[in-house]
Amino acid sequence: MVATPHGGQLTPRSVSKEQAQKLKETYPKAPVIEVTENTFADIEMFAVGAMAPLTGFVGKADYDSIIDNIRLTNGLVWPFPIVLAADQDTATAAQTVGAILLTFQGSEIALVEVEEVYEPDLERETTSVFGTNDASHPGVQYVQGLPEKRLAGPVHTFELPEQLYQDHRLTPAQTRSEFEKRGWETVVAFQTRNPIHRAHEYLTKVALEGVDGLIIHPLVGATKPGDIPADIRVQCYEIMMEKYYNPKRVLLAMFPAAMRYAGPREAIFHALTRKNYGCSHFIVGRDHAGVGDYYGTYDAQDIFNQFSFDDLGIHILKFEHSFYCTRTQQMATAKTTASSPEERIFLSGTKVREMLDNGQRPPEEFTRPEVADLLIQAYAKA
């Protein structure tokens, strides 16, 4: 059996066209707001049930509990508040009517039945969730830039605009069905927002040796400027799937969430939501979901030490910083080679991006040649 969803069951919030129309008729005076790309990603996650156990944007009690305890008020682990922001006038109107209608790029995407309006504590939130209130941090900057009020209540999602690689955007129900069809009872998930370089390939294959299957689950929601665009990354994943993985043991699917760059807390979110997709194991490597120098190399691994398996319901696989070893001419970690520091070539998505920005082709010690060719071509056209 694949993993049980967080909280016991999936919570898909999509409704039929008929139900959507009935909701709009029930709340004809609901104010309308155009949401950010980040909130659209949250809506898509709600739609498919990937936010389980959440059924909507959190209220003040859960907001406080998440920030202070990394748990919802019911005791379930949850790392950061999923919120809907609006200005004072819109929030007041929504509370009076009892609902708010959400649009994205001109399309109606959801209706939220508003049960509560409250003010966030931004300093406490950013310090707890991101470990800093420095406005240079992209997650902090985003939160600090939101309107002043938070609206809580259940989400009802409509038919969403088609997104990039729609055929690969498998829902939790679909990945679970695919795992069962393939006979996979244990599945390890790999989260990435970068092309798969040699270090990623190494740790995913090591992890795969201990389970039935691997899902490469790249994040394709909103990311910060400077990150490699999702369409280029997906082409890189497809090359890797075709040439360097066993397709019978690996599944490529898109993860629609937005990046928050919350380091340790975001690692928890990535693990819990992958449990919702049916995964039994989750890889946490060096500086997972990090940005700049805000987090220690293994902070995202260490945060899991405070939780039991009963808390999480998914096995966390922790990997040391891997590198290309010139002595053995293969990927390794400090556990698997006696090479000296001078014989170790460390790899990172940041380093690859720096090389591409400078017009340099990443060497084979960094990434497979076909991926390097694609990346250098894509950057030359940018």
User: What single letter denotes the amino acid at residue 191?
Assistant: Q
User: Which DSSP string corresponds to 295-314?
Assistant: S-TTHHHHGGGGS-HHHH-S
Q: How far apart are CA 171 and CA 253, in angstroms?
A: 9
User: Which DSSP string corresponds to 208-250?
Assistant: HTTSSEEEEEEB-S---TTSPPHHHHHHHHHHHHHHTS-TTTE
Buried-state track 285-312, b at ≥16 Cβ within 10 A, e below 16: bbbbbbbeebbeebbbbebbeebeeebb
Question: Is 194 one of the catalytic residues?
Answer: yes
Q: How far apart are CA 374 and CA 232, in angstroms?
A: 8
Half-sphere exposure of residue 155, counting CA atoms within 13 Å on the CB side? 34
Q: How far apart are CA 205 and CA 210, in angstroms?
A: 9
Q: Of 194, 260, 265, 286, which is the active-site residue?
A: 194
**Contact predicate 345/326, CB 8 Å:** yes
Determine phi and psi for 238, rounding to 5 degrees. Answer: -65, -35
Question: Is 233 one of the catalytic residues?
Answer: no
User: Which DSSP string corresponds to 270-286?
Assistant: HHHHHHHTT-SEEEE-T
CA dist list (Å): 219 to 168, 189, 256, 364:
12, 12, 6, 25
Q: Of 176, 193, 265, 286, which is the active-site residue?
A: 193
Determine phi and psi for 125, rounding to 5 degrees. Answer: -65, -50
Active site residues: 193-194
